[in-house]
Structure formats: C-alpha cells, structure tokens
Amino acid sequence: MTLPIAPPSLPLSDEDPFSAELLDEPAPFHERLRDAGEVVFLERYGVYAMGRYATVHAALTDWQQFISSAGVGVSNFRKEQPWRPPSLLLEADPPAHNAPRASLAKILSPRSLRAYVPIWEAAAERHVEELLADAVDGVLEIDAVPTITEAFPLRVFPDAVGLERDGREHLLPYGDFVFNAFGPHNFLVEAGSVGVSEHAAWIARQCERDRLDPTGIGASVWAAADRGDITEQQAPLIIRSILTAGVDTTIHALSAVLHAVANAPNQWAALRAEPSLARRAFDEAIRLESPVQTFFRTANGDVRIGGTVVPDGQKILMFLGSANRDPRHWDHPDDFDLGRDPSGHVGFGMGIHQCVGQHVARLEATALLKALAARVRAIEPAGPIRRHLNNTLHATASLPLRLALA
C-alpha cells in the first residue's frame, strides 16, 4: 500500500497513537501533537491530525468540508468495503443524514426520556443499596467496573430499549469491536475478530420489529417508520446505532466520573453538598477523560485549515481527548473542577453529529451519582486504575475503590 506523502512544511509525527503505549496513556502524546502545530501529518498512517481545541471544534462544525459519508475510521468507504453496512447516522452526510437524525433525536430527547427518570432513579437507589449491603464496618472495597459502571447501565438500558434477556452478553464485545474497527487493523482488531460475526448476528436480530418489547425505545423507532418519518429499511439500522453506541460509551464514561471523584475528594464533598451538580460532574468527567477519544473525517475538496491545505479525499484524525485538555482553551485543563463550566467540550462531538444519545447517558449518570451521593460519604482509590485498550475509546478494565458509608 502506498501512503499519501505529506506536503513540505507540514509538521510530521512518526508516533503511533494506536500503539498500546499511547492508548494506555495518551495525554503526553496529545501535548506533543498540539505543540507541533495546527495540523500534523501522521506518517505511519498517511493521515492528517488535529489536536487543538479551536481546529477540532471548527472541523466538527463544518460538515460540508469535513465529511462523514466516506467513513469516520482510518479506512475510506470510497476505496474500501466497510466491514458492516455504514451507519445511517455516524457515517452519513446531509441530506441522507437528516431524517434518521431528526427521528432519533426526538426519540432520545429529554422530553421523551422523562418516563425513564423515576424508573432509573429507583433502579440506581436499589443498585447502590444492594451494593452497600456488603459493607463491613461502614466500608466497602470494590472493583467499580463489574459492580457499578458495567452493572448499572446493563441493568437499565437494555430493558429500556426493549431487548430480550438472552444474549445480552453480546452488547459489550460488539461495541468494543466497532470502536476498535475505526482504527487501523492492529493487534486490537485482530484479537477482537474472534466471535464478532456472532455478536453482529445477534445485534442484527434484536433490531427486528417482532423481537422488541412494544413499549421500549426500539419499538419507538419502528413507530417512526410507521408514521413515515423514516423508512422500514432505515429502522433496523437506526436501532443498530443505539445498540452500538449506547453501551460501552456510557460504561466507560461512568468509570471516568467515578475515577475523577475518587481522585478529587473535595469535589465529591461538593457534589454531596449540592447533588444538582451531578450533571456538571458527568460532563466535566467527559471533558477530562473523553471516553470517545478520536474520530476521522474526510476532506471534501481541498480544505484549508489555517496555513495548511488538506487535499481532497484525505483522512483527518480529530483528537477529541486532546482538544478537551488544550490549555489554549481551558484553564488548568488537567483538573477535575466542578467550579468550571465544561460546556463546549467536544467529548460528545459538536455540530450535526453531536452525540444523539447524550441525554440517555446523562440520565443514567445523574441517577447513579445522586444515589451514591446520598449513601456514600467518601470515595477513594483502593488500587491503581487499569485501562482497557481500544482504538477509539479511553476505557477502563478495573477501578478499585474504597467507599465509606454516610
């Protein structure tokens, strides 16, 4: 394969952002990337990259020049077959993007989700109560990943979508594979390939009308098809997006916020004193940890970025995680600070593709944080966090915590 050659004068990097080392600890590389320039050429992959807030934000909001329909991974739909039919949301541009987006945005709007608020709040309270029942002398040591950050979303989300019980164990590895597959065909994609066709087949079956509980979110996508908002061919692919993008992301975001509060005890105290800060705490953790680290766009025509021209058809890698800690935009960017307004972070993206499920994620997170704040006086690390490596996600394998009961 011949890779594009960088134009002269463009800053170059021979580092591999998809190596185990940089996926495990991306922040030092992000700083080098931001300092190297507005646009940097990654020689290993023959792609352009942006790590500064201003450039990433500008590109995300310019869907005409930075298109998604050629694929948002390193490989190009114009030249290569995608491994699964493209997403009607993530991997589409207007006008094709419009109807699926508008339809799903309505289904996942705060207004439509209101019915789930009391259900998820009660589930969070029960979840925390059951967990804390194992405390000894008012203290509980846990790995928060299996017991909270995976267990709670898996307790509420598949039921809300209306999935059958059997086979739900496919959800996490399927999502993990999709997020790996946006990156290069490296050791992670290779390892994840085992079983992916079974995961994908199960996911595809759950998108069928007759499989879904008639009261759930999945059924409301089919109802949109019945109204004519979307076609019957579009409905299952939109449900596939919910199942792909709605599980791993939320789980790793919940790990991010618990990791953040465990390492900032005064911020946990502030949240306990003012539980309405739960929403801000979640967004500040998304800013700080950026569970979705990167997405590609493709230059539509020769695209000028500051002093650089990215030629038509070239891939541009946007480092959301780097933009979210750019000191050119954020004061003390590496601190978890509930005194700041984190809005404008690009952890959910920005522009027409900004996360359509963000209200679902916020609702899960605020329900859980409020339930914990009511019962847990202090949270501290009980061992080092262990990362789960993924080409796109900043993910957590293990998060040992010590909880002191209120």
Contact footprint for ligand OW4 (CB under 6 A): 87, 89-90, 178, 240-241, 244-245, 292
Residues in the chain: 406
Whether the upstream peptide bond of residue 95 has omega within 30° of 0, thus cis, is: yes
- Cα 238 to chain center, whole Å? 17
Nearer to ligand OW4, 57 or 240 (CB): 240
Nearer to ligand OW4, 89 or 131 (CB): 89
Evaluate whether 179 touches 205 at the Cβ level (below 8 Å). no
Nearer to ligand OW4, 17 or 357 (CB): 357
161: Cβ contacts below 8 Å, ≥ 6 apart: 212, 216, 217, 218, 239, 242, 243, 246
Nearer to ligand OW4, 104 or 389 (CB): 104
Q: How far is the CB of 241 from ligand OW4 (least distance, A)?
A: 3
Nearer to ligand OW4, 176 or 337 (CB): 176
Evaluate whether 351 touches 297 at the Cβ level (below 8 Å). no
Phi and psi at residue 17, to the nearest 5°: -65, -15
Q: How far is the CB of 299 from ligand OW4 (least distance, A)?
A: 21
Nearer to ligand OW4, 235 or 245 (CB): 245
Q: How far is the CB of 162 from ligand OW4 (least distance, A)?
A: 18
287/290 Cα distance (integer angstroms): 5
Q: How far is the CB of 89 from ligand OW4 (least distance, A)?
A: 4
Q: How far is the CB of 23 from ligand OW4 (least distance, A)?
A: 17
Q: Using only C-alpha atoms, what is the Rg of the chain?
A: 21
406/404 Cα distance (integer angstroms): 7
Q: Convert 296-322 to b/e letters by CB count within 10 Å (16 or more is b).
A: bbbbbeebebeebebeebbbbbbbbbb
Nearer to ligand OW4, 240 or 362 (CB): 240
Q: How far is the CB of 2 from ligand OW4 (least distance, A)?
A: 29
Greatest C-alpha distance within the chain: 66
92/156 Cα distance (integer angstroms): 29
Q: How far is the CB of 140 from ligand OW4 (least distance, A)?
A: 33
13/46 Cα distance (integer angstroms): 10
